[in-house]
Chain A
């Protein structure tokens, strides 16, 4: 197990290096520097600024010193917000984005697992088609459509919930969480339906039924555990996706999270911010993929067995 984790950690290093290098080069190739502002700035000032941000050095030297900073966990100063570092901006936005992603995950699991399990109990009947078509709605209604529609119905027409903000008014976290969560609910519904269908044909389920257990216990206690393995394996990548995919929802609902910083940075050509967030997101995604691989091995005795045999 330890060897498996270590080897996966080692595999993550080239991935991160490629991300850093590609982003660095892309950002440096971009036309128009961050200081090519509206007003003409005296050349001395430009030179001083360039020296401060190390833009006067040759590109390979910039790259190496950036790598050095990263190794110390430093993402460098922001181009746009003078005096603030990318670290501070990330530290400010991350808790909000993480909270949003967490609620969205709850929504996704709740809707997805319920729909999937209900559908799997009577496959190829209306009880199967209805929840699965409803779940499909989550895939076919992208967040930038779902969000405004929810706002229109529940915020403006019914006036039940606030239309924007985060943590200021009661209930303003509900709509963003639903908007972000429904897309993943659809995938979780499909995975849990597939997993449950497979498990329900296994011998141990027949044994449980033969013991005379009520169907409710068979499903909730015996089948659910095995049937949800594919869902658990999906949670890691899903959470990473929620974190890095939240920028539409954050833009729609004006939530001051990481995603909104990223979009603003992209429009403002705040290069260090773009670079920093991209590297940060990539690291998160790699970490969550790793985590979900480990959890998958841990909860699935078959995989664990394969691993110890292959050694």
Chain B
């Protein structure tokens, strides 16, 4: 188990074998309850949303796992021009997930696979989805790019870490719900 430290004090989830992060379009504040991450944007208004932490932890020889994960969801054309992931011609969305994992003093391999229940997913950056972890406290960064607005559905990133003959799998689901939590006619109820 590892802890994601909140950004700005508003987000905190615990990584178990299975993580559910739900991006629910909600005009209220972001919140986390029962491992559900609620993000406060409507689908057609997505700006960049970020969760998790950018700080690394420390691995020991005994620690072999995902130490922390962070990520963001947003529009491809909002990436800095200097980024290889930037594409001003794509009015689409991206989901980026950054993982800190490995084992001090050992070489590990991390593989990332992305699925999109809407079937829009079309690119992963880096295109090579398997990376070797050779240094301590390695940071591996994967971005999934979708040539569409981010639609309701399930966006799943699966990390598989292999160290010698053993492997571990960690799954992150970003579940985008179909309706905002905003109540139409709230003022009349």
Q: Do A and B come together as binding partners? A: no
